[in-house]
Chain A
Amino acid sequence: MGRSRKMSRTTLEVLGAFMDDPQQERHGYELMKATEIKAGSMYPILQRLEDDGMVEASWEDIDPAAEGRPRRRYYRVTGLGQAVFAQEIKVMSSRLRGLIPGIA
């Protein structure tokens, strides 16, 4: 749970993709389309977020034989993820305020 390392821009983008509707579950392909992050980067990011408790994953409730495809794995942002995202945005905003005078 203790998150000590700095969050990268791409990680923040992935976390941000959940923020339109935090209750909505999303699968990897949806996240890739929303963030335009390639598969090579997406899965390490999702794994890291899952390890840090910022997203939780669950399997799609279908019968793979009936659907003719394997189950999707859905991700949903946790309360911790939302709090961390809000904190990161706050830090970025304060930095921007420092850089550009006149921004309230």
Chain B
Amino acid sequence: MTALLGGLGVLGLGLVALVSLEVAPLCAWLAPRIARRAACRLPSKHREIREEEWLAMLATMDGLKVIRMFTACGFYVSTFALLKMPSVRAAQEADRAAAAGVDVRNRFAQSFRLFLLTSVKNAEAGDQIKLSIERSDGSVEEITGDSISLSPGALGEGDKVFLDGQPVKVDPNETFGIQFMSAQQDGQPRRRRRAKRARRPGGIEGC
């Protein structure tokens, strides 16, 4: 019985050693890729800094290759917290605004403004835009137009939305919806397409 257990132990150890030999190169290959992928989640201003910093750190690290991979996973986890920080969010907003052609002077904007900017970015040439605003008194106002833009308004004053060049006053406490009616799709709202884009903002090259 003891000999059998001993034999199984040796066999087990052999298997573990074999798997370790296979896993180590995989971890070494995977770690920088995970770090790059993590950096890709960040806005352009932070992306380049973190990518170089993290790759340098992986190159500096001593110890097992599997630990490097776990550290790279840690970088990925850290991006969730980083993306909540005002400075990173402002950079992310600036990226989105630049892609939408909007000048953002107010760096530390509210999430409401972020929503508006993201929505404006989703507008495409030829779209008809329908705004639905639920006012504070409960009434719902619907306005349609062909072009939408934002004013770089100050915090706390409410953001100004321009539809066909006409200002539409929307306060942050009012429910606000934007629907894009694509001309190519027989006036059907392209909600699914918009939702898909919202998950991967920025369209980062090489990420």
Q: Are B56 and A73 in contact (CB under 8 A)?
A: yes
Interface string of A34-49 (1 = CB under 8 A from B): 0000111111100110
Q: Is A72 touching B78 in the complex (CB atoms < 8 A)? A: no
Q: Which of under 10, 10 to 19, 20 to 34, or 35 or more describes the interface residues of A?
A: 20 to 34
Nearest Cβ in chain B — how far from A5, in angstroms? 11
Docked complex Cα distance between A28 and B78 (Å) = 13
| Complex contact A44–B55 (CB within 8 A) | no
Chain A contact residues: over half helix, strand or loop, or mixed? helix
Does A47 contact B74, Cβ atoms closer than 8 Å? no
CA A69 – CA B74 in complex, angstroms? 20
Are A43 and B86 within 8 A (Cβ)?
no
Interfacial chain A residues near B53, Cβ < 8 Å: 28, 70, 72-73
Number of chain B residues close to chain A: CB under 8 A: 23
Inter-chain contact A29/B74, CB cutoff 8 Å: no
Is residue A97 contacting chain B, with contact meaning CB distance below 8 A?
no
Q: A70-B52, A72-B60, A73-B49 are in contact. Are A38 and B82 (CB under 8 A)?
A: no
CB of B81 within 8 A of CB of A44, answer yes
Contact of A40 among B50, B59, B78 (CB under 8 A): B78
Cβ–Cβ contact A70 & B55, under 8 A = yes
Nearest CB on A from B50, distance (A):
7
The answer to whether the Cβ of A26 comes within 8 Å of any Cβ in the partner chain is no
Given A40-B74, A40-B78, A51-B87: A29 and B60 interface contact (C-beta under 8 Å): yes
Is B132 part of the binding interface, using a Cβ–Cβ cutoff of 8 Å? no
**A90 contacts B by Cβ under 8 Å:** no
B75 lies within 8 A of A73 (CB): no
Once the chains bind, are B56 and A69 in contact (CB under 8 Å)?
A: yes
Q: A71 and B71 in contact (CB under 8 A), knowing A43-B82, A44-B82, A51-B86?
A: no
- How close is B191's CB to chain A, nearest CB, in angstroms? 34
Q: With A39-B71, A40-B77, A71-B52 known to touch, is A29 a contact of B57 (CB < 8 Å)? A: yes
Contact A27/B78 with A47-B87, A70-B55 known, Cβ cut-off 8 Å? no
Most buried by A among B50, B56, B85, B87: B56
